[in-house]
Chain A
């Protein structure tokens, strides 16, 4: 078929070099998968997914190269191999994502129930878990306290960091005019984005235990509260809010500001009435993304708020639990070690499902906000 087509379009061949049909890479890919499965059955005596995947990849590369080099020439062959390699990096990167989501949905979905969402771990005993594993009772305990903790701590972190973040971004864009302070702040915000989350937690803990020691010597233990955790999260959240807001504010057209100034509107009113409303969608979606980022933080919470078993509505006293710390605690320190640790693990996966769903929802919300609230362009 190839030779015949060569003969019929001899004239156009002067402009285009020889090319394999468009579907070739797909056919080769399917063929190499089939060959790999065959080899897997012959050499390994069964279907082994990792072996097949690796084999199929290698066979595919070799086949593409040989086929293309013999027909299209060496340079085209290199191009095809590079394309195949680059494409496969993307496909390979999707494997962990799919596996993780699948595991979370299947394991978490199997364990989750309304009871888990509405109960706490107060009064939880190992016996209950052993009964569950033995099939005599349903899964006890729950993580209502962790959901409450997550919401409270994240809300407190928002209250601290959104004003600071947005005002700093306004300073950088509207007032700093690239002066030295503005440059220093930009640089430090960059540095702050790189602070390891556990160091942010240690900072908040060190801050409050030093304060507690100064105010009431010997009472460093009271430093672990939900509020301390909120401060730790703020350290992580502020730089994200600043960067996102700054980016959006810089997009506001200068003409809008100048038109406002020309009408004699004071600067602060221009910012509040013109600049901010224009960019509100971007700011809100940036803030939502920042919330999604910090809501899943574990390390800063566990060093600042400890692990609570019971419901605690008070941010300023006593330990608190959040969904991430609940997952960590359940998985690594099960209520009943040994075979009944399975029950704790199931609770952890159920909490993981709730957490992942929450984070995905927030990310989705950010996109929706960006779309719905975007200023209606009159162009």
Chain B
């Protein structure tokens, strides 16, 4: 925002917030006061209230979730065996957290190289005229509702069983591709790996659009300098584009991670849940969001409170990841300008 407006705007804004006005008033306040009309006061108050409402909503999310998880905390203290699983809250939530992190990690590992590739393609390689259209195609992926991804994933899962069988045959010595004890893999293909692959497609557009923005900001002169020195296009990308966008790429992936952690429906529909296992090609494992989605409709009493507490755990995890990502963005934008 150009600072020139500050002088014009400071009159009404100062009056809408007496605290602010008093602080800054003596320093730079000109003597002839601007006329404050009732319309101005009402309007600025309305916008202020709307802003404060957002603060309240976010505080409310944390507070009401905490209030509803009161029962779980009490049960944990007085009688841990009453919680699902019979061992208290931590042993119950731990496998869910691990399952969530694993699925999000796989989704991220698969999606990031693709997202970078697509972002590079649309910004630096595709024909200029075609680039926006191609970007729109990828944005379509983001527009499709998650429940449709779930349906598609279920239809797809059956086709993946032969691939999983092949994986377990040749790469079974790696724990994550190990078959079950009798040498079989999931019959339906509805495993954590399938869910994670669908997740990776769902987070692809977010990471792509963020990295695309960053790649577009690469200083044109640096790119042209690299090309003028005789670099091939790929060398130019490696020398000018990627180093410039490094921290942006990191934060884009973290925002994608936040999305993958909280994504519910694809996992809830595709995964046939079970105990925590290391292998990704047999059925088993569960994520926080899908545990809530699958059990909430029938839950009541303590179980309801448990699921809300689990939701609180998810909220805290995604909050941390997103804040981390934003912190990185904030740092880079300062450097960039």
* Residues of chain A at the chain B interface (Cβ within 8 Å): 50, 75-76, 78-79, 82-83, 85-90, 92-94, 96-97, 99-100, 103-104, 107, 163-165, 167-168, 170-179, 181-182, 184-185, 187-200, 202-203, 205-207, 209-210, 235, 238, 242, 250, 254, 257-258, 261, 266-269, 271-272, 292-293, 295-299, 302-303, 306-307, 324-325, 327-328, 331-332, 348-349, 352, 355-356, 359-360, 363
Q: Which residue of the partner chain, among B57, B255, B265, B311, contacts A202 with CB atoms under 8 Å?
A: B311
Distance in Å from the Cβ of B52 to the closest Cβ of chain A? 8
What sequence of 0s and 1s flags, for each residue 247-270 of chain B, a beta carbon within 8 Å of any chain A beta carbon?
Answer: 000000001001101111100110
Q: Which residue of the partner chain, among B117, B143, B314, contacts A86 with CB atoms under 8 Å?
A: B117
What sequence of 0s and 1s flags, for each residue 19-57 of chain B, a beta carbon within 8 Å of any chain A beta carbon?
Answer: 010000000000000000101101110111111111101
Whole-angstrom distance between the alpha carbons of A127 and B281 in the complex?
36
| Contact between B322 and A191, CB atoms less than 8 A apart | yes
| Contact between B319 and A202, CB atoms less than 8 A apart | no
Whole-angstrom distance between the alpha carbons of A198 and B126 in the complex?
38
Whole-angstrom distance between the alpha carbons of A306 and B153 in the complex?
23
* Residues of chain B at the chain A interface (Cβ within 8 Å): 1-2, 4-6, 8-13, 16-17, 20, 37, 39-40, 42-44, 46-55, 57-58, 60-61, 64-65, 67-68, 113-114, 116-118, 120-122, 125-126, 134, 137-138, 140-141, 143-152, 154-156, 163, 201, 204, 232-235, 237, 255, 258-259, 261-265, 268-269, 289, 292-293, 296-297, 307-308, 311, 314-315, 318-319, 321-323, 326
Distance in Å from the Cβ of B25 to the closest Cβ of chain A? 14
- B6 partner residues in chain A, CB cutoff 8 A: 177
| Contact between A175 and B125, CB atoms less than 8 A apart | no
- B65 partner residues in chain A, CB cutoff 8 A: 199, 202-203, 206
> Given A257-B5, A261-B8, A327-B151, is A192 in contact with B54 using a C-beta cutoff of 8 Å?
yes
Give 16 pairs: A residue, B residue, CB < 8 Å, sorted on A.
A85-B117, A86-B120, A89-B113, A171-B47, A175-B13, A191-B319, A191-B322, A192-B58, A194-B319, A196-B264, A196-B314, A324-B265, A327-B150, A328-B265, A328-B268, A363-B140
| Contact between B55 and A324, CB atoms less than 8 A apart | no
| Contact between B143 and A360, CB atoms less than 8 A apart | yes
Residue of B nearest to A167 (CB): B50
Whole-angstrom distance between the alpha carbons of A363 and B145 in the complex?
12
- Extra 14 A-B pairs, beta carbons < 8 Å, given A93-B118, A168-B51: A79-B233, A90-B118, A185-B51, A188-B54, A191-B323, A196-B289, A207-B60, A266-B39, A268-B39, A296-B146, A302-B297, A303-B297, A328-B265, A352-B151
Q: Which residue of the partner chain, among A78, A92, A193, A299, contacts B264 with CB atoms under 8 Å?
A: A299
Distance in Å from the Cβ of B293 to the closest Cβ of chain A? 6
Q: Which residue of the partner chain, among A88, A104, A175, contacts B148 with CB atoms under 8 Å?
A: A104
| Contact between A303 and B9, CB atoms less than 8 A apart | no
Distance in Å from the Cβ of B140 to the closest Cβ of chain A? 6
| Contact between A355 and B145, CB atoms less than 8 A apart | yes
Whole-angstrom distance between the alpha carbons of A326 and B184 in the complex?
34
> Given A203-B60, A267-B40, is A250 in contact with B289 using a C-beta cutoff of 8 Å?
no
User: Interface centre among B17, B50, B234, B269, by most A CB within 10 Å?
Assistant: B50
> Given A352-B148, A363-B143, is A196 in contact with B67 using a C-beta cutoff of 8 Å?
no
> Given A184-B55, A267-B12, is A306 in contact with B323 using a C-beta cutoff of 8 Å?
no
Whole-angstrom distance between the alpha carbons of A209 and B304 in the complex?
11
Q: Which residue of the partner chain, among B118, B201, B234, contacts A82 with CB atoms under 8 Å?
A: B234
Residue of A nearest to B13 (CB): A175
- B52 partner residues in chain A, CB cutoff 8 A: 181
| Contact between A328 and B147, CB atoms less than 8 A apart | yes
| Contact between A168 and B9, CB atoms less than 8 A apart | no
Distance in Å from the Cβ of A159 to the closest Cβ of chain B? 14
Whole-angstrom distance between the alpha carbons of A100 and B155 in the complex?
10
Whole-angstrom distance between the alpha carbons of A99 and B153 in the complex?
11
| Contact between B68 and A210, CB atoms less than 8 A apart | yes
Whole-angstrom distance between the alpha carbons of A195 and B264 in the complex?
12
| 10 smallest beta-carbon distances between A and B, as pairs | A196-B262, A296-B145, A89-B117, A167-B50, A194-B322, A171-B47, A268-B43, A79-B232, A82-B234, A299-B264
| Contact between B262 and A296, CB atoms less than 8 A apart | no
Whole-angstrom distance between the alpha carbons of A359 and B143 in the complex?
7
| Contact between A296 and B61, CB atoms less than 8 A apart | no
Whole-angstrom distance between the alpha carbons of A76 and B235 in the complex?
10
Whole-angstrom distance between the alpha carbons of A343 and B269 in the complex?
18
Whole-angstrom distance between the alpha carbons of A31 and B204 in the complex?
31
Whole-angstrom distance between the alpha carbons of A364 and B45 in the complex?
35
- B67 partner residues in chain A, CB cutoff 8 A: 206, 210
